[in-house]
């Protein structure tokens, strides 16, 4: 079956591609900022707990499904139970429409800033440069204000690069690219870390703000209810970050694992992917804290006023710090933005692959045709984020997709596999080769992981209903957040109801009860 399906040339190629998907823009700025905000070294505790009780079990689940059913998310889920094909579509649709459309624009910004680094074009006021000259940010999310031409060009370049990578089959495209890009990314990161920690003021910032643990911030049992509630938010954020950083809930890992050979150690691969990803975030944090510490010291401002959240960390704080460096400023900027471009591209192609593979699986179209149409349409779709309101729109889309779309996808995946299929059937498949998966995994998939995700979901809904996210107007949130999600859902349903090309939906062997290795 599926002998036409090409595959990874080597396990290391697969691992580098999966790690490439996991390591993205979020590892560099999202993790560092969260550590700072949520208790420094103490944040590692909820982060690691989230990794063990949700991240790893779902990573193994996704690898297991893809490897067992040898298909993209919709094909695999349809083979398991056709009633859940829509869920298989929901995940890659959210990946493509929900994330990639704006993720490509942020990689585009990195391309612009990579060029600006050569001349330190942001000058003395990087904040004014970013918002007023570069984005020309409009006054509200509903006021698009036309497209920003430099961003349109860089975004086009990003889509062309992704197209060139995804166009070829998996081993010649994504695998080869990852084998080249990922080692370069690791080397650049090590250079950045070594350089940053040697700067004046870096050591203090790292010790006092990054590694120093503020245990109160994670204490769920604090006697003061307000403190306990705040600690709850920290735990929720840690789970959200683990999901996002491991690229779970998009069907990406299902798709990547579908190209693996029969004899594969799934558990080991999942462990390596997750550990390398999280270690990368931790190490990259030294570079971020080092340089922000240096900047704070040279400007004589407290550290907590120097650091900023989200994109501002990369596009305002970093440029500011780069300009202050005693020498070789340009190289520092060039390396930093190149790092982001490489990390972003290897994540971007995985988002496209999850959707492209799903379409080729179902409709039997050629990969080249699907990827070309998808990248063309994707570029057109991302234009809205290159408008002068782009920053607002991507902030809203990101909030809804990561907090609702992803968490829903992950929870439903657990419920379908845990309850409808029965987790132990999948476990018995996973246990056919390599490291054995203990029975406690069933418990995670059936009970704890979905329960935690549902709890997270309710926390965010509660929060969003009590105050408008980011201070946006209600109609803007409904239109750009809720509306976006609704379009994704409708598209997923339409694709699920479309007929399969003959011969594509053949079920794979399901182990009999007495074959189960439980």
Q: Is 350 in the site for ligand PHE (CB under 6 A)?
A: yes
Which one, of 59, 22, 43, lies nearest residue 414 by Cα? 59
Among the candidate windows 18-26, 155-163, 263-271, 482-490, which touches ligand PHE by CB under 6 A? 18-26
Q: Is 25 in the site for ligand PHE (CB under 6 A)?
A: yes
109-118 CB burial, b ≥16 within 10 A, e <16: bbbbbbebbe
Task: Give me the least distance between CB of 218 and ligand PHE, in Å please.
Answer: 22
Q: Which is nearer to ligand PHE, 68 or 243 (CB)?
A: 243
Give me the residues paired with residue 40 across strands. Answer: 213
Q: Is 24 in the site for ligand PHE (CB under 6 A)?
A: yes
Q: Is 22 in the site for ligand PHE (CB under 6 A)?
A: yes
Q: Is 51 in the site for ligand PHE (CB under 6 A)?
A: no
Which one, of 330, 516, 300, lies nearest residue 428 by Cα? 516
The answer to whether 148 touches 384, Cβ cutoff 8 Å, is no
Q: What is the distance between the alpha carbons of residues 131 and 129, in angstroms, rounded to a whole number? A: 6
Q: Which is nearer to ligand PHE, 57 or 251 (CB)?
A: 251
Give me the residues paired with residue 147 across strands. Answer: 387
Q: Which is nearer to ligand PHE, 275 or 328 (CB)?
A: 275
Q: Which is nearer to ligand PHE, 134 or 244 (CB)?
A: 244
What burial class does residue 232 get, using C-beta atoms within 10 Å of its C-beta: 0-12 exposed, 13-18 middle, 19+ buried?
Answer: middle
Task: Give me the least distance between CB of 424 and ligand PHE, in Å please.
Answer: 29
Q: At what angle do helices 367-382 and 101-119 cross, to 10 degrees?
A: 70
Q: Which is nearer to ligand PHE, 236 or 252 (CB)?
A: 252
Q: Is 378 in the site for ligand PHE (CB under 6 A)?
A: no
- The contacts of residue 372 (CB under 8 Å, 6+ apart) are 163, 167
Torsions phi, psi for 147 (to 5 deg): -90, 150
Q: Which is nearer to ligand PHE, 84 or 250 (CB)?
A: 250
Out of 347, 387, 403, 431, point to the residue binding ligand PHE (CB under 6 A).
Answer: 347
Largest Cα separation within the chain, whole Å, is: 71
Structure tokens at 238: 């840690």
Q: Is 346 in the site for ligand PHE (CB under 6 A)?
A: no
Q: Is 273 in the site for ligand PHE (CB under 6 A)?
A: no
User: Which residue is at the shortest CB distance from ligand PHE?
Assistant: 24
Size of residue set near ligand PHE by CB under 6 A: 16
In order of 8, 125, 415, the CA distances from 430 in angstroms are: 19, 55, 18
Interface with ligand PHE in residues 236-255 (CB under 6 A):
244-245, 247, 250, 252
Out of 44, 351, 389, 414, point to the residue binding ligand PHE (CB under 6 A).
Answer: 351
Out of 60, 73, 99, 335, point to the residue binding ligand PHE (CB under 6 A).
Answer: 99
Residues that bind ligand PHE (CB under 6 A): 21-22, 24-27, 95, 99, 244-245, 247, 250, 252, 347, 350-351
């Amino acid at each position: 079956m599926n002998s036409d399906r090409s595959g990874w040339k080597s396990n290391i190629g697969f691992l580098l591609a999966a790690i490439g998907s996991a390591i993205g823009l979020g590892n560099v700025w999202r993790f560092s900022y969260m550590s700072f905000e949520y208790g420094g070294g103490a944040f590692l505790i909820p982060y690691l707990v989230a990794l063990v009780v949700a991240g790893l079990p779902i990573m193994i689940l996704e690898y297991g499904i893809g490897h067992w059913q040898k298909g993209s998310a919709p094909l695999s889920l349809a083979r398991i139970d056709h009633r859940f094909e829509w869920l298989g579509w929901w995940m890659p649709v959210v990946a493509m429409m929900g994330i990639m459309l704006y993720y490509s624009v942020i990689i585009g910004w990195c391309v612009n800033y990579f060029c600006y680094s050569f001349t330190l074009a942001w000058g003395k006021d990087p904040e004014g440069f970013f918002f007023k000259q570069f984005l020309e940010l409009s006054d509200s999310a509903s006021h698009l204000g036309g497209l920003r031409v430099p961003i349109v060009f860089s975004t086009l370049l990003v889509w062309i690069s992704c197209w060139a990578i995804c166009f070829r089959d998996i081993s010649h495209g994504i695998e080869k690219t990852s084998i080249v890009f990922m080692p370069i990314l690791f080397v650049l990161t090590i250079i950045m870390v070594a350089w940053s920690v040697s700067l004046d003021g870096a050591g203090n910032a790292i010790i006092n703000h990054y590694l120093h643990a503020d245990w109160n911030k994670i204490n769920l049992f604090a006697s003061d209810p307000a403190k306990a509630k705040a600690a709850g938010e920290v735990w929720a954020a840690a789970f959200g970050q683990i999901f996002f950083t491991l690229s779970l809930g998009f069907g990406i890992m299902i798709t990547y694992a579908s190209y693996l050979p029969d004899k594969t150690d799934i558990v080991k691969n999942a462990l390596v992917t997750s550990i390398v990803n999280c270690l990368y975030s931790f190490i990259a944090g030294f570079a971020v804290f080092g340089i922000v510490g240096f900047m704070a010291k040279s400007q004589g401002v407290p550290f907590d006023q120097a650091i900023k959240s989200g994109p501002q960390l990369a596009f305002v704080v970093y440029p500011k710090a780069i300009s202050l460096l005693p020498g070789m400023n340009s190289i520092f900027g060039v390396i930093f933005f190149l790092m982001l471009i490489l990390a972003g591209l290897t994540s971007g192609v995985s988002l496209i692959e999850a959707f492209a593979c799903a379409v080729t699986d179902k409709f039997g179209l050629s990969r080249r045709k699907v990827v070309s149409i998808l990248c063309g349409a994707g570029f057109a779709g991302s234009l809205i984020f290159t408008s002068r309101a782009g920053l607002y729109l991507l902030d809203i889309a990101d909030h809804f997709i990561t907090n609702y779309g992803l968490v829903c996808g992950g929870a439903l995946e657990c419920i379908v596999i845990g309850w409808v299929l029965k987790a132990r059937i999948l476990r018995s498949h996973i246990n056919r080769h390599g490291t054995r998966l203990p029975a406690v995994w069933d418990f995670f998939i059936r009970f704890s992981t979905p329960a935690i995700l549902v709890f997270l979901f309710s926390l965010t809904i509660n929060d969003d209903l009590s105050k408008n996210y980011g201070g946006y107007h209600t109609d803007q949130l409904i239109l750009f957040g809720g509306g976006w999600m609704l379009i994704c859902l409708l598209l997923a349903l339409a694709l699920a109801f479309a007929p399969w090309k003959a011969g594509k939906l053949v079920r794979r062997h399901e182990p009999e009860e007495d074959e189960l290795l439980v």
